[in-house]
Amino acid sequence: MHCRILTFIFFAAIFPLRAETEIKNVLFLIADDLKASVLGCYGDEVCATPHIDALAGESMVFERAYCQGTWCAPSRESLMHSRYAGDRGPTLGKYLIDNGFYSARVGKIFHMRVPGDIIAGTDGQDVIHTWTERFNCQGREAHTPGLYRLLNQNIETRALENRQSTKMPFRMFASVEADGDGSAQPDWKAAEKTVELLRKHGKSERPFFIATGFVRPHYPSVAPAVYFEDYPISKIKAPHVPEGDWDDMPKVATTGSTSQFFGIDQYPDNIKQMWSDYYATVTFMDMQLGKVMAELDRQGLRDTTLVIFTSDHGYHLGEHHFWQKSRFHEEVTRVPFLVSAPGFETGRTMSLVELMDIYPTACDLLGLEIPATVQGQSLRPVLQDPGAAVREAAFSLDRRKGQSIRTERWAYMRYKDGSEELYDMVADPGQFANLAGSVEAAGRKAELEKMLKEKVALAVE
């Protein structure tokens, strides 16, 4: 008897990190331009996201997850290669194929132009060897029949002519309350195809990696009309922007996609309508995710499937009078990140993580060696203990503009012209008081500069 106990203790000491349930498959779900703060599981009290919230209840919810690229193409390349920049090494899908997996892409994983590639049904910047099979999901986008709005121009019409679309300057302010049940929408088609693949491959001896990319809430904000009914602008509170908010920001930080540049500042109610339309498409996307998760349950795959949900980056909807992405402020760099790993902890964690950590985490939980080219960290320690940490800072970069680093308390941004922003995220979570020129914060800024230089060195490695 004593020998058995000692044997058990011996093996427990050697294999303390082994999960109780064997993880065989990976289901990777990614939204497009989804800011963490609009989800119920991240505190939003207006937007209905019941299926994402249900998944959050069965996941480790990462409160401080950050993208590495601040717009679609570099972010998606980064997370699929687990590199700060560039395409060195095998993609996650290719590596899993090489280890015996079936690998499928449904919708947008690598960069696709939205709406351009969605309307055309083309592959965008897809990396073909990543997949055993791949499936595009077409839609008419702003050309969808229904009530069309162009909010920065205060236009509302059902006419199909003269709608802002591919490569047009105001396409990001377009929305459509679409006729029909949504079955013609790309995210509906993505959910249906994923369900089909789960039915086909779920019982196979060959493990699967299915990556499904939803295109909402990326502009144009298109969803069936019924989804807009729950979000009248009377329920919407526009972001507070203090007078003189830009006074202490570098000029490079306040150029580009702003309310004043596009003219939506002339229509305050339309800023609220942008939120309403964004919420509607988030809820529609959430419903499609729910179909996928329901099928995973029906096929009895939850106990053997690692489920990861995230977005490529966040989004500005008028905060600081900014719109879209490609900035270093919290609304862009912070992303929703849920990891449902059978046999591991559920709950919430404040541990700092990067989207690059998806690749090594999947490998680790599947029992695969992590490739040498991978720069991310396995999140296994955090999945076992929400109080654990795998890094002291998260890094984001834009080769055109500069870089940023986020620690537990501080957000530091450095632009290519040498200008800076520094925010105390405890005292000033809205990022309204730039402390980069503060004498009191000089020591802290020097520490962050050093950390940033180390990250930049890794990005060019």
Residue spans of the domains in the chain: they are 19-139+182-391
The span from the CA of 332 to the CA of 412, in Å, is 14
- Are the C-beta atoms of residues 38 and 44 closer than 8 Å to each other? yes
The span from the CA of 31 to the CA of 55, in Å, is 14
What is the Cα 219 distance to its own chain's centre? 15
pLDDT of residue 219: 98
What is the helix (H) or strand (E) element at residue 272, kind and residue range? Answer: helix 268-298
* Residues in a beta bridge with 394: 406
The two three-digit tokens of residue 266, written as one number: 């002339």
The span from the CA of 309 to the CA of 307, in Å, is 7
The span from the CA of 461 to the CA of 457, in Å, is 6
pLDDT of residue 461: 77
The span from the CA of 54 to the CA of 50, in Å, is 6
* Residues in a beta bridge with 65: 335, 353
CA-nearest of 66, 41, 40, 46 to 56 is 41
Checking phi first, is residue 402 left (phi over 0); if not, alpha (psi -120 to 50) or beta? Answer: left
pLDDT of residue 20: 46
Vertex 459 angle, CA 456 and 461, to 5°: 110
pLDDT of residue 10: 32
Peptide bond between residue 342 and the one before it cis (omega within 30 degrees of 0) = no
CA-nearest of 178, 165, 187 to 114 is 165
- CA R_g for the chain: 22
The span from the CA of 449 to the CA of 428, in Å, is 20
The span from the CA of 34 to the CA of 115, in Å, is 16
The span from the CA of 146 to the CA of 144, in Å, is 6
Roughly what angle, to the nearest 10 degrees, separates helices 358-366 and 72-81?
Answer: 30
**Residue ranges, the chain, pLDDT below 70:** 1-21
CATH code 3.30.1380.20 for 19-139+182-391? no
- DSSP, collapsed to helix, strand or coil, labels residue 81 as helix
CA-nearest of 346, 341, 384, 383 to 23 is 341
The span from the CA of 397 to the CA of 415, in Å, is 10
Q: What is the pLDDT of residues 129-177, one digit of tens each?
A: 999 999 999 999 999 999 999 999 999 999 999 999 999 999 999 999 9
Vertex 34 angle, CA 32 and 38, to 5°: 160
What is the helix (H) or strand (E) element at residue 402, kind and residue range? Answer: strand 402-406
- Are the C-beta atoms of residues 459 and 413 closer than 8 Å to each other? no
pLDDT of residue 21: 60
- Are the C-beta atoms of residues 412 and 455 closer than 8 Å to each other? no
- Are the C-beta atoms of residues 217 and 285 closer than 8 Å to each other? yes
